[in-house]
Amino acid sequence: MKPVIRYLILGVGIYLFALVATLPVGRVYDRLLPYLQAANVQLEKGSLEGNFWSGSARPQNLAGLPVEKVQWDISAFAMLIGRLSVDFQLKLDQGSLQGAARLGSEGLEVLNDLEGTFPVTLLSGMLSSLPIIPAGTISLELDSVSFRGGKPVAAEGEITWSEAAISNPMALSLGELKIDLREEEGKTLGTLSDTGGPLEASGDFSISPEGAYIIDLKLAARDKTQQNLVQALAMMGKADADGRSRFKYSGQL
C-alpha cells in the first residue's frame, strides 16, 4: 500500500473518531437504547448532556435505585471489540456509588471496582420479603460482581453495615457488621464478622450461580443487659454452652 493511501486512511479514521467523540449524546440515544433496556435503565432523553463518550443524565429508573444523576465515561477500546464498558458515578438520593460496568447484548455482565455509601433503606425493595426493617449505612468495596441474565452470580470484596440496627418489629442495636466475599469454584463464599458492637456475630455462607444458598451463623448478645437483643436471639434459636445461638439455613434465592 502506498504511503499516501495509508495516511489517507489514517486521516479518515481520526476524523470519524473525532466526529463520534464530539457528537451530542442525544443524537445516539436510539443506538444506546437496546443496551439501556437490557440493563433495566430508563433515561429521560431531554436530560442528556455531553457527548457519547463522556456525559451525564437524570435517570427515570436505574435498576430500581433512586438515582438523582449519573455521569459516565465510555471506553473507546472496548467499543472496538464489540463491548460497552462504562466508568460511572451515581449521585443517589442519599449517598453515592461509582465503578465500572461492562454491558453486552444481554445486559449487564460485570461491575468492577464498585465503591459507595448509602442508607440500608435504599435496599428496601430487595428486602421487602424480610419481616424486619433494617437501619444504618451500607458501604461497598467490591472488586467485582458478575451477572447472568441480569442477576448477580458471583462477587468479591467487602460489605460493611455501620450503625446496624433493626427498627421493627422491635428496636435492636447491632453495632457494625462486615461481610467478606470471595469466589471459589464458581460459588460466592462469604464470611460474617463484627467489630465489637452489641451483637457478637460470626459465620459463613455460600451462594451458587443458580441461587442456591447455605448460611451457617453464630450470634450472641455481647452485652447481656441489652434485653431486646437477648430476647430476640432466644426466640430465633437455643444458645449453646458458650451462649451463642446457631442459625443454619439453606434455600433458593
DSSP string, 190-216: EEEEESSSSEEEEEEEEE-TTSEEEEE
Q: Does an H or E element contain 231, and which?
A: helix 227-236
Q: What is the pLDDT of residue 2?
A: 45
Selection from 86, 109, 114, 112 nearest residue 98 by Cα = 114
Q: What is the pLDDT of residue 177?
A: 94
Amino acid code (one letter) for 97: L
Q: What is the pLDDT of residue 27?
A: 60
pTM above 0.75, yes or no: yes
pLDDT tens for the chain, 253 residues long, are 444 444 344 343 433 444 445 455 656 666 666 766 666 677 777 777 777 777 788 876 666 677 888 888 887 666 666 667 889 998 887 889 999 988 776 778 899 999 999 998 877 666 655 667 888 999 999 999 988 877 788 899 999 999 998 887 778 888 999 999 998 888 899 999 999 889 999 999 998 888 888 999 888 888 777 788 888 887 776 767 677 888 888 888 7
Q: What is the pLDDT of residue 47?
A: 72
Distance CA 114, CA 232 (A): 34
